[in-house]
Amino acid sequence: MPSLRRRDFLALSAVAAGAVALPAFAFAAKEKPDVPFKISLAEWSLHKAIFGGQVNHLDFAKIANKEFGLDGVEYVNQFFKDKAKDEKYLGEMKSRASDLGVKSLLIMIDGEGALGDPDDAKRTAAVENHYKWVDAAKFLGCHSIRVNAQTDNNKYEEGMKWAADGLGRLSEFAGKQGLNVIVENHGGLSSNGKWLAATLKLVGRDNCGALPDFGNFGSYDRYQAVEELMPYAKAVSAKSHDFDEQGNETHTDYLKMMKIVLDAGYHGYVGIEYEGSKLSEMEGIAATLKLLQKCQRELA
């Protein structure tokens, strides 16, 4: 894991200690009630700092709210992998968020097996491995868990059926608790917009949807893919890496992409997910937020 630059370490250490926000990030970020979409923060944006021990996972909601003025967060299970059944720990997460008026929107789940595994027994095990995260998400007040439609990437049609089976069974379980199961384009066949949309259609459950990520599509056209997935979208991930001098993301035309999102009738939260390396994590989040706010103004 690459080490944090000194300025990043100092900024994040100050946050963890409860210090006053640095001026560079102390701008007004509260959304107006009439904006066309809301903005949340995906925890992966701070993965270097959290994995590196500079930031405590339990401080995530505070960082999102106090540093960036956001009222919605998207957790990543990798940062509290062994706490899915720990009600005391989950209760601390819940109270810290609610005390700040921050909504816990979803948990992104990785490392629990392939929901589209060709082997029936392994697929069933993967489905059941996700149950505890459904329970945790329900406890936290989330609307969804984000999962992966991992399968055999060399089996287009069969992989679709296997993934639809796993997703369908997990969605049936989650539906009993009023939760959604949403799939991100996250490598392999899931990064093919047509394949993922067809898989979700095959599942055919109202609580099984998509989390279109602006990146993660490989050579597949990202704008076409997001358009294909938006009919199923229950969350959106604004992936960012690099920015030009005008503050535009260099890989994705955010105005074009957000117009696709809004034209599909989506007006929920769009999660900031910064993954770049040229800016620090805090600076990257700030740059993405500023760009999304520009989109809010221009597309209102």
pLDDT digits (tens, 9 = 90+) for 268-280: 999 999 999 999 9
Contact 65, 100 (CB under 8 A): yes
The single-letter DSSP state of residue 269 is E
Which range among 33-37, 40-44, 46-50, 111-115 shows the weakest confidence by mean pLDDT? 33-37
Neighbouring residues of 219: CB distance < 8 A, sequence distance ≥ 6: none
* Residue-range definition of the domain harbouring residue 278: 38-299
Confirm whether 6 is domain-assigned.
no
Task: Kindly report whether the global pTM for this prediction surpasses the value 0.85.
Answer: yes
Neighbouring residues of 152: CB distance < 8 A, sequence distance ≥ 6: 116, 118, 158, 159, 162
Question: Is 50 exceeded by the pLDDT of residue 19?
Answer: no
pLDDT of residue 12: 56
Confirm whether 2 is domain-assigned.
no
CATH number of the domain residue 138 falls in = 3.20.20.150
How high is the mean pLDDT of the chain?
Answer: 92
Confirm whether 224 is domain-assigned.
yes
pLDDT tens across 207-258, in order?
Answer: 999 999 999 999 999 999 999 999 999 999 999 999 999 999 999 999 999 9
pLDDT of residue 34: 81
pLDDT of residue 29: 41
- Quote the number of domains for the chain: 1
Mean pLDDT of 139-156: 98
Q: What percent of the chain has pLDDT over 70?
A: 89
Query: What is the identity of the amino acid at 83?
Result: K
Confirm whether 255 is domain-assigned.
yes
pLDDT of residue 111: 98
Higher pLDDT among residues 224 and 25, named by residue:
224
Mean pLDDT of 135-153: 98
> Residue 5: pLDDT band by 50, 70, 90 thresholds?
low
Confirm whether 33 is domain-assigned.
no
Higher pLDDT among residues 202 and 9, named by residue:
202
Confirm whether 109 is domain-assigned.
yes
Question: Is 70 exceeded by the pLDDT of residue 16?
Answer: no
pLDDT of residue 110: 98
Confirm whether 112 is domain-assigned.
yes
Confirm whether 3 is domain-assigned.
no
Question: Is 50 exceeded by the pLDDT of residue 28?
Answer: no
pLDDT of residue 22: 38
Mean pLDDT of 11-39: 53
